[in-house]
Structure 1
Amino acid sequence: MTEKTFSVDSFIQRSAEIVDFKTLVKLFRELLSALGFESISYYVVRQSYRSVSAKEGARVEEDVEIADALFGAGRSVDFDPVISAMLEKLEPFHWFIAEENRHLSDEQRRVFKRLRAEGFVDGIAVPVMRRPGELAVFTLSKRGKTFSFTKTELRKLQIACHAMHLRSEELIDGKGEAPLSKRETEVMRLVARGMTNREIAEALKLSSHTVDTLIRRCFSKLGVTNRIEASIMFTFRDKLSA
């Protein structure tokens, strides 16, 4: 990446040791500032399949001008054309690509004009999901700056944002978690290392059916729906319990 070596693993490891949201935000801001971002906002967009207002969903809102441009007048977060387009893609993308959508309303197009008036020429929208029916978005930019990331770099950025969201919700919820059994922990450590079900079965001398069952149980306990989410969430919990 551009300004510094971007280590998702380092961010995940350090964030797992943090026990308050304010310190977590500071660490996250340090990470993104190293990549050239200055304006950093983070919103929960939907909960239980319901759109939430920007005020209700705000987790980090560091730029008043951009927040007002995007979410003024009590709008829900997914009013914004960038967010609306993002909801269909579920992958990081540059803000102004959404301006090419010919179905945007005049009001939505005024959002882009307002952003340019505030000095923004580019920005990255990063969507993350915790579980089905829940969605959050990170809007990242810096006035007068354009960003050039490869697809791999954008994917790493999304993983960092995903980790931030998962840890944030843990700290905000403050809810107890269903513990993993010793065998489930063994399986998840191998999943986090990128091993397939067959490789895990061979390593632990289990049947493929048993491994599949254990992984599904782990997904349920961790509140995730895929191996990437499970690896991130497990890394947090494993380090915290170490």
Structure 2
Amino acid sequence: MRGSLSTSDLAARIAGCEDKETAIAVLAGIIADSGATYGFLYNFNYGVKSAAERWTPLFSTFPAEISSYYSVMRCATEDPYMRAALSSTAPVRFLDVEDGLEPCGAISGLFALLRANGLADGLAMHVSDKPGRLTYFCLAFDHAIEDMSEFERRRIQACAEMFMHYAGDLLEPESARELSPKEREVVACLARGESNKEIARRLGLSISTVNTLVNRSFAKLGVNNRTEAAIAACRTGLSLVA
């Protein structure tokens, strides 16, 4: 990245995150160190349609008029930057996405609003750091970034991935981290050693629904497997007694 923050320094700062305030400070540092003017982070756990209906980024430094327009005009359903980022393993550049594009009315208005606020280019990328969690990270610049190397772009993405893996949970609303009643039932079944098929049979759910509930529970608990889920659930006070 263009600033002075190294990945080792970033790791140390992330390790020191204890609450939302310190996590936001670290994320703001990543954005500033990239040379970006604005940035935002959005959790796409529940899909694009849901994002359009309740557009509320986990973190954003974009001007209020841009954020308001994006929400009111439901730009998430058509946003070409976001669509390109979610389908690419590497960060995508705004101007590359816009090249040859014929945007709809809402997106044309978004482009005009970005330019009116002095934004000339940007980077969009997705981060999938945990099962069930998909995050969209976007940076906007007041200058063209054709001189930014592929290595530098991927380094920014790696920093975002590092941040989300170790501190992303701190930005989530408390309600988003709490297990729903159905998720609690699923985790209790997992702790008893039941397979997804057995859980589906016990709870009268489809396999796909159980898979979704398992992934969502893992993401909320910050775990990677069934054993870790059972331990984490016990630590947070979830009764695993049948």
Give the shorter-chain TM-score range.
Answer: 0.5 to 0.7
Read off the aligned partner of 2:40 and give its amino acid letter: S
Check conservation: 1:44, 1:137, Cα contact below 8 A.
Answer: yes
Instruction: Give the TM-score normalised by the residue count of structure 1.
Output: 0.62
> Could you tell me how far apart the structure 2 residues matched to 1:62 and 1:106 are?
25
Aligned to 2:164: 165
Aligned counterparts, 1:18-29, within 5 A = 18-29=17-28
Structure 1 residues 149 and 170, CA, compared in 2 at 3 Å: closer, same or farther? same
Instruction: Give the 4+ runs in structure 1 shifted more than 3 A.
Output: 48-51, 53-57, 76-79, 101-104, 131-134, 172-176, 219-225
Task: Determine what percentage of the aligned residue pairs are the same residue.
Answer: 21
Aligned counterparts, 1:198-217, within 5 A = none
Shift of 1:133: 5.0
Aligned to 2:71: 72
Q: Deviations over 1:128-164 (max 9, x none)?
A: 1134553211211233x22232111111100111122
Read off the aligned partner of 2:66 and give its amino acid letter: I
Aligned counterparts, 1:132-147, within 5 A = 134-143=133-142, 145-147=143-145
Structure 1 residues 22 and 93, CA, compared in 2 at 3 Å: closer, same or farther? same
Check conservation: 1:92, 1:154, Cα contact below 8 A.
Answer: yes
Check conservation: 1:93, 1:124, Cα contact below 8 A.
Answer: yes
Aligned to 1:119: 118
> Could you tell me how far apart the structure 1 residues matched to 2:157 and 2:47 are?
22
> Could you tell me how far apart the structure 1 residues matched to 2:24 and 2:126 are?
17
> Could you tell me how far apart the structure 1 residues matched to 2:6 and 2:95 are?
27
Aligned to 2:182: none
Residue 82 in 1 paired to residue 117 in 2? no
Corresponding residue SS for 1:129: strand
Corresponding residue SS for 2:72: coil
Q: Which runs of 5+ in 2 are unaligned?
A: 180-217, 226-242
Check conservation: 2:75, 2:106, Cα contact below 8 A.
Answer: no
Read off the aligned partner of 1:43 and give its amino acid letter: Y
> Could you tell me how far apart the structure 2 residues matched to 1:150 and 1:78 are?
30
Structure 1 residues 3 and 222, CA, compared in 2 at 3 Å: closer, same or farther? closer
Tell me the matched-pair count: 181
Residue 30 in 1 paired to residue 29 in 2? yes
Corresponding residue SS for 1:119: coil
Aligned to 2:210: none
RMSD between aligned residues: 3.3
> Could you tell me how far apart the structure 2 residues matched to 1:48 and 1:224 are?
21
Aligned to 1:202: none
Aligned to 1:212: none
